[in-house]
Amino acid sequence: MHLAGAVTAAVLYWLFLWLASLMIPKGKEYDRPSRFYDALLNSGYRFLYEAAVARVHVTGREKLPADGRFVFVSNHLSNFDNMIQSACLRSARLAFISKPENFRIPIGGQMIRRGCYLPIDRNDARSSALTLKSASELLKTGAVDAIGVYPEGHRGQSYDLQPMHAACMNVASWANVPIVVATIAGTEKIHRNFPLRRTDVYFDILGTVDARGRRTDEVTREAASMMQEKLNEYKG
């Protein structure tokens, strides 16, 4: 009886999210996120990773900038990374730079567009540069509190970082905000453990890097060094 009730509640919940997503005009660009849809998106994220039996451990919240505006960078291991990190930082208006395919996902695609997520085409240098400029404008105008980006550009296969794209660090210098450096570990195991085993996920906020007046390659090396040092703790 309890299982039937839970299934019914889940179906009704996702029906509500689907109906809410239909209210978002397709193809429209937004310069400010909706708090209503931001809350719905993060609740959907949390539903998904908890349904996947993931238990999240977060450290370093106290290292977030006091004024709230920043560029967020992390390693990338799984589709669950963005869900978990966004939900855990839901008190900030966080918009991610994301691959174009994610904007075509049913329900979620429309909601991330309404949340001012930005699509980036890494195969087109001019288009990528325009996306990064748009991201910095969102920060400068205060439309969002934070812009999230995965500098590796795609999911890694291990706790050894892939080469990082330095250009994304320009968003912080253009917007005159710090870079918050973080790591995530364990999300790559969720699909293997589900549904029989719980997966412990570790989301660590490591600290900030100041990009102002510095070369992007120097800033990238510092952020990568912080990430790799932490990821080495999770090897094996």
**pTM given for the model:** 0.94
What is the structure's pLDDT at 66? Answer: 85
pLDDT surpassing 60 at residue 53: yes
User: What pLDDT shows up at residue 85?
Assistant: 98
- For the stretch 60-113, pLDDT in tens is 999 999 888 999 999 999 999 999 999 999 999 899 999 999 999 999 999 999
Q: Are 66 and 208 in contact (CB under 8 A)?
A: no
* Residue 36 pLDDT > 90: yes
| Residue 223, burial from CB neighbour count under 10 angstroms (0-12, 13-18, 19+) | buried
Radius of gyration in angstroms for the set of CA atoms belonging to the chain, rounded to a whole number? 18
Q: pLDDT digit string (tens) for 129-158?
A: 999 999 999 999 999 999 999 999 989 889
**Predicted local confidence at residue 6, as pLDDT:** 79
What pLDDT does 67 receive?
82
Angle at 79 between CA 192 and CA 31, to 5 degrees: 165
Name the average pLDDT for the chain.
94
Is residue 1 predicted with pLDDT exceeding 50? no
The helix/strand count (H/E) of the chain reads as: 8, 7
